[in-house]
A and B are shown apart, each in its own frame.
Chain A
Amino acid sequence: MPEQDPQRRRHNFEEVPYGYTEELALLEARRCLKCKKPGCVQGCPVNIDIPGFIKLIEEGKFIEAAWKLKEQNTLPAVTGRVCPQEVQCESKCILGKKGEPCAIGRLERFAADYAIKKGAINVPRLPPATGKKIAIIGSGPSGLTVAGDLAKLGHSVTIFEAFHVTGGVLMYGIPEFRLPKHIVQFEINYLRKLGVEILTDYVVGKAKTVDELLCGGYDAAFVGTGAGLPIFLGIPGENLIGCYSANEYLTRNNLMKAYLFPEFATAPIRSKCVVTVGGGNVAMDSARTAQRLGARSIIVYRRSRDEMPARAEEIHHAEQEGVELMLLTNPLRVIGDKNGRVVGLECIKMKLGEPDASGRRKPVPLPGSEFVVECDTVVPSLGNRSNPLIPMTTPDIKTSRWGTLICDPDTLETSKKGVFAGGDIVTGAATVISAMGQGKIAARSIHEYVTTGKVSKPVAKTETAENDKK
């Protein structure tokens, strides 16, 4: 797929891949074998009719292809960009056995973008209103999916969002150059057209609690509040000025648009050298953002490249843009000056030892290999714990020892009647599409619950995305 030149894009926040042209899309769609028993659909957490939409592209019916996507997937323009297709649909593609699998993700993005560009929104005819009210808490990928599916079934849906902007991690976390924010807002506007009510600046738990919502006229509630509690390194010097969680580093730029300071009032983080600690997709996002803000950008990761949880494509993009990788390196202490500002990160070299519980080889320090990386900003990007707000304010909801909500894996009903959950608040930090897959399951359960009062296990167990990559 054509991409922005790395030398150019390392300085701007515009999207990296340009997307297929019509010609390229037609060529790629022709490669699809339209299998009778398509493996790709099984690989898709939201069960998109993949051969179906690709066939429409092949026929030149781009808008119809986009509508086909929308039947199963509330956010095709988003997932076409951020899904790890290489371990999902595309990994199951027959073509992949001998050569390159069909580029399902890129085709998905092409069709969705085409419809957005043409303004061709197909609002399906909605069934008669059921009169059932459902509260969705959190407007991230899982909440948006539940909202879309339930609205299409005729329920009255309200989304409660604590931030001033709808979209959750799609807005605050994933940077503009990976997921343009107008695309997210376009997809959310589609939900509004379906009749979904969205209340921003509403902190459920602090304003009304889940119990109060259920007593106050809502028939069911879905909790999709995500994993938003940053994990720090737990090493000395972490509270020095210049040490930021990846959440803060990204939120300042993505949600608050600090890179447009002073037009936007939120102060930017101006650095000469940023060290991002971690090897996941969020670390890549932070490091690439740092690069774009004009800093030297270094990633420190304690294992080797093969163990990095980030998508290969993201690591590749980061390196192309000039992000430096310091592998097998573990931070020991953040060093500050007399004004309490970061001036360096002391690290130690590591080597890989025996595999640990996760199956990955455990890194062990090499004594005497300590060294200091001079930098003025350190961004620990070690993942997030689940948001504690709902468990704290909903006494009878059960949580695991990691703070995630305990749910029936097949129905996603929580220990509290009428309350369902999905996404990172259930799985711990995972991917956009796995959250959306859970949204689909929860929507099915909620529909059954509000119409029949019961929740049954689905006949054929739906495959949930289990990889832990974001």
Chain B
Amino acid sequence: MSEITFTIDGVEVRTEKGDTVLEAAQKAGIRIPTLCAHPALEPYGACRLCIVEIEGLRGFPPSCTTPAAAGMVVKTKTPQIVDLRREVLKLLLSGHTSPCLVCLHRVQCEKYRPVSSKAGKTTRCFTCSNRDQCSLRELAVEYNIQDLDLPIIYRNLPLERTDPFMDRDYNVCVLCGRCARICKKIHGSAVISFINRGKNARIGTAFGRDHTEADCKFCGACIDICPTGSLTDRFAKWYGKPDEAPETNCLICPIGCRMRVKLKDGNHIASTMTDFTREARLCAIGRFVVPQLLNGPRRLKTHKIRIADGLINASRPDAVRGAAERLAKKAGDSFALVTHSQTVAEEIYLLKKFTNEVMKSKNFFIAGTDGEKVHLPAGIKTLYMTGDLVDGLAGLETIIIADMLPSAAQQSADVVLAAAGLTEISGSFTNAAGKIEELDAVARPAADIVPDWRLVCEIAGQMDAPGFTFATTRQIKAEMTQKGEAFTPGVMPDPSPLNDTRFLPRWYRGHLMSDIVVSLRALNPPEESAVQETTETTALSPFKVLEKIEVVANTHETTIYAPAIAEKCQPGQFIIAMVNEKSERIPYTIADFDRANGTITLVTLEAGRSSRDLALTARGDSLAHVAGPLGMPVEVKKYGTVVCAGGCYGVGAILPIARAMKEAGNRVICIEEASSHYLLYWQDKLSAVCDELLIVTKDGSAGMKGGIQEVLAMLVARGEKIDQAYVIGCTFMMMLVSNLAKELSIPTQVALNPIMLDGTGMCGACRVSLEGETKFACVDGPFFDGHKINWEELMSRNTSYQGVEIEALPQKGVKLAHTCRCEKNRH
């Protein structure tokens, strides 16, 4: 290859002939911003962010598709280019849900709300799981985009969450095409591609099929290469940006794919390819299932010992001692040890050594990866197994199980040891090609959980057996080499699971993986599943859903038949709802009610498991429980001029208050706040009950730019005397508004929505401080004087269950409740 020389920004650059200008710049360490370009992909030229100026060439060619030529003079940072790039970026942002980027209160918002809200559809950065890893956001910050003079186009495409493992929200997509291109590169023919044209262009499958039907291999490359939050890993998405990404190999099948392990607090939450090439691809098991085996809710986290007829939790030393005691004097061929091949060679060697030398038995078995259980020979009385690997435990006197997942066999065990495995262990693994891979333990299990080989060393130590004082697998390997142990490769699976999801590995340690990771059942035929899916029993209830629409993205309007509540409820009150018998009791403000028809209407956001359950209900469903009306209503009387301001779900909540205040003879000004124009709703309903409706958006795409506080300031500036204000919305917004209202001496009532449990004053979970005095929001509230609230404490208390809430989110694919277009157009 010959080299060429040219200049970029006055610097002389040498590069290989055939490189693009972008590649040459990157090699020379000169930064040119990119979005659609990716080192693993062919030049594409879709986003136009990498434009440069080249002397002698007309216009501004994209550097990613322009081949470098000798003697070229390239400029990347002229004011004109930077300006153009900003315009390009704005165009991209106008097709993305980006109002947070141009919001006046962004810095404050991110300080008070460091974690995104667990929404369904992504409506803005604050509801985006990819917020901290978004390329577009980084560019917007780098280019200091403060204003968008273009409207944001929100297409309101349905959220696609029917497939296993992944959520897709193409409303956030910037059409860079990376996903479709990587799919084609890795699999030859792309499952996803551009569909439709012009402004309707989007990414999708042929004929709009689910990915499972469209022969997707679920390698996850599209998720990992997506620069935005359009494509997300359902299990990992809300954990936020990973802390580390070391590499190791997958141990599930003999192929032993190399993978990059995304760690959050030491937990393996996702695995990705080490490179975006066909050779480096992963199957769905490595990409999605392994993290869920390790960190899903069913992982064994405690050791157990049998006392009398029950198993009790025990510390590792106690459990190891218990195992050693039970194995003492059991040496001989009545002992058997059964392990599996989905681990490192050192572990298998050590377990065999334990069987032969400590237990003086020749009965050592390795179960295959096909789920076939081992049948023990006659005469076995004592069993040690490292999984659910043996058929027929009857007749055994002592059973010790070391495992990572629960099994029925553990009910009969004397000791259950919680073990580490997969990416949590180090050692040597001989893959099917015969290559010996040296693995490092990259994921970190809980403190008391160690690999099987270490458990056996500890047991042997308790039994005073010599030769088990290993501290590392390296030491074990040294002994193996000394003894001339062979590292035998496994058998290459054929056909390969990498090419066809029908041939994915199904078993790990004798557990059918689809029993542990439910979403896998969409790929494995369900009739092979040993566990019947449990159907939830929902008692018959009168709380029937009469109407249900997604009024704007991620915001749901639900009308429920609840005559006893409708008859008595007053503006400002709330209800406690449980969608099914296993739900939380969640408070929702009553947005409207119809006494004649016995209905109440709720406007809710999807922000976690319970609000998601409510969002997924459809007309004709019934909620299990609705209790109310709860809380104190607002005091309706003639104040003079009353401002009713709402944001998010609060827009619904201010409607009955505005109506009542108007009926009481007040001059009512309603303020509706939204991040952007596409999140505004009910303007017609609000207009009908107030004297003036003011719209304010964070991006200025409709009405004023800013928030409710900016509108209040404007009202005061124009000479309005506001006698009373009611503000409902998220805690952050209410805090900002209250702080200003206090300065302006506007009496302000805010409706607080802290964590509640019973909602009737019984538990005190919802306590808030008002100038040092503790109140219960459920019975004393929900309305309080906004000037007096201890906002810092309230915001802090709202984060009580932040980590736990992620675990509660279901992993199975679901269909969004049907919303037909005629309903959508009703407003």
Contact surface of A with B, Cβ cutoff 8 Å: 4-5, 7-8, 10-12, 162-164, 172, 200-203, 206-208, 228-230, 232, 238-239, 241, 244-245, 247-248, 251-252, 256-257, 261-268, 270, 294, 339-340, 387-389
Contact = CB atoms under 8 A, between A and B. Distances in A.
B307 A230 contact: no
Contacts of A4: 310
Interface stretch (B342-350, B489-497, B795-803): B795-803
Given A206-B628, A265-B583, A11 B758 contact: no
B801 A267 contact: yes
Contacts of A256: 584-585, 757
A164 B628 contact: no
Contact of A228 (B581, B761, B805): B761
Given A267-B808, A340-B793, A229 B630 contact: no
Nearest to A228: B762
Nearest to B793: A239
Interface stretch (B12-20, B287-295, B379-387, B562-570): B562-570
Contact of A389 (B627, B761, B808): B761
B760 A248 contact: no
Contacts of B573: 206
A313 B307 CA distance: 23
A268 B567 CA distance: 35
A170 B578 CA distance: 21
Contacts of B822: none
Which of under 10, 10 to 19, 20 to 34, or 35 or more describes the interface residues of B? 35 or more
Main secondary structure of the interface of A (DSSP, over half): loop
Given A164-B625, A256-B584, A262-B297, A267 B763 contact: no
Given A163-B758, A228-B762, A339 B805 contact: no
Contact of A265 (B308, B584, B760, B765): B584
A224 to B, nearest CB: 15
A267 B764 contact: no
A207 B565 contact: yes
A206 B696 CA distance: 35
B582 interface: yes
Given A207-B564, A241-B800, A251 B757 contact: yes
B774 A238 contact: yes
B649 to A, nearest CB: 19
Nearest to A234: B774
13 contacts: A4-B310, A8-B310, A162-B627, A203-B629, A206-B628, A208-B568, A230-B764, A265-B582, A265-B583, A265-B610, A265-B808, A267-B805, A388-B779
A230 B797 contact: no
Nearest to A202: B564
Given A164-B627, A203-B628, A266 B762 contact: no
Given A228-B762, A239-B793, A261-B804, A208 B564 contact: yes
B41 interface: no
A8 B305 CA distance: 9
B626 interface: yes
Contacts of A268: 804
Contact of B758 (A7, A239, A251, A340): A251
Contacts of B582: 257, 263-265
B744 interface: no
B117 interface: no
B763 A247 contact: yes
Nearest to B796: A340
B760 A207 contact: no
Contacts of B477: none
Contacts of A248: 757, 763-765
Nearest to A160: B564
Contacts of A340: 793, 796-797, 799
Contacts of A241: 796-797, 799-800
B26 interface: no
Given A267-B808, A268-B804, A294 B769 contact: no
A203 B627 contact: yes
A232 B764 contact: yes
A164 B585 contact: yes
A387 B289 CA distance: 49
B760 A389 contact: yes
B588 to A, nearest CB: 14
Contacts of A294: 302, 313
